[in-house]
Amino acid sequence: MKLFCYHAFRSEKPPSEEYVKMCSEAVSSINGLPLALEVFGSQFFDLKTEKEWT
């Protein structure tokens, strides 16, 4: 989850607890593939609210 979060939030962990479940689901759906985690995480970088993530 660290790699995904680094690209989505520029941090090794989600900014708040409300994002933990969504990040876990995203990482799980990608099957932990490093390049996919980077690309997919980067797509979430500009999304600032939980509503934008869903």
pLDDT at position 18: 84
pLDDT at position 2: 94
pTM for this one? 0.82
Which residues touch 39 (CB under 8 Å, ≥6 apart)? 7
Q: Could you tell me which of 10, 29, 18 has the C-alpha nearest to residue 51?
A: 18
Count of Cβ atoms closer than 10 Å to residue 1 Cβ: 18
pLDDT at position 48: 77
pLDDT at position 7: 94
pLDDT at position 54: 74
pLDDT, tens digit (0-9, with 9 covering 90-100), for 22-52: 899 989 999 989 999 999 999 989 887 778 8
Number of structural domains the chain divides into = 1
Residues 21 and 8: their CA atoms lie apart, in Å, by 14
- The domain containing residue 27 runs over which residues? 2-53
pLDDT at position 9: 93
